[in-house]
Amino acid sequence: MFPVSQRINAERALLLAWPRAILLQLAHPLVAAGVADHSAFRAGPLTAAQRLRATVRAMLALTFEDDASRARTIAGIQAIHRRVRGTLHESVGTFPAGTPYSAEDPALVLWVHATIVESMVAGHEALIGPVDGRDRDAYCAEARPVALDLGAVPGDVPDSWRALVAYVERVRRSGTLGVGCAASEVARAVMFPPPGALIWPLARASRLITAGLLPGDVRDLYGYEWAARHAARFDRSTALVRRVRRHLPDRIALWASARAVRRAAAA
């Protein structure tokens, strides 16, 4: 039996869950400032798609490759984080203009980590199939070392699904989150890729799924309209993805690195 992280992260369909994670991250004003000031996301929708692909490649390396590759990936992320620092250009939520930020801030590392873990499980539930409580806990535990390697405080990093959900809800209720110009700018690049972008061939469906996966309060921060008709379309779209996934062969449904691990285990 493969680790839960390898079973969940193997699924290509979870590309549709990544925008949810990114928009949740950007809803933290200090994360949004760092991304807008230092990331290629702001260069345009095509560059945003390329940057998202690089992020997914890093996730795959951390999940499926050997210890040496994992260490190189962590070192690469750490090098990027060391360069990402600055101050807010505008007041957003509870943060006044001029508030300093750093990608090495353990609190920001924790928020980014938690939004990814929560979004991958939410995406799997909506697009592929249920994840039971034991597997949710295992997924949190297996993802925890990455957050620690990137500088999160050990006592703060959830090692169970219940603790993870409690942390995310606590941040959402704290008044910390807010969407200003920086978050809105990057969110547009994520949600509206250029025509023909390979990573997002079905942009309209992606926007619907992203909005549907977001918590309602965060969706409201971005000003995304959501009514009964949107919820009905979301349900139909996710049901279609689940039906299609059940009939896809592994060579299409799974990432190449995941298939390689499975072949090696079967040899």
Domain residue ranges of the chain, discontinuous segments joined by +: 4-266
* pTM of the model as a whole: 0.93
pLDDT at 145: 96
In angstroms, the Cα distances linking 49 to 41, 53, 83, 205 are 8, 6, 22, 16
Query: Which has the closest alpha carbon to 262: 1, 59, 67, 60?
Result: 1
Contacts of 117 (CB under 8 A, 6+ apart): 139, 140, 143, 164
Helix (H, G, I), strand (E, B), or coil: what is residue 11?
strand
pLDDT at 67: 94
pLDDT along the chain (267 residues), means of 10: 94 94 97 89 60 85 95 96 96 95 98 97 98 98 97 97 98 96 90 59 83 97 96 96 96 96 89
- Concatenated DSSP letters for 98-128? T-EEETT-HHHHHHHHHHHHHHHHHHHHHHT
pLDDT at 53: 79
Helix (H, G, I), strand (E, B), or coil: what is residue 87?
strand
pLDDT at 66: 94
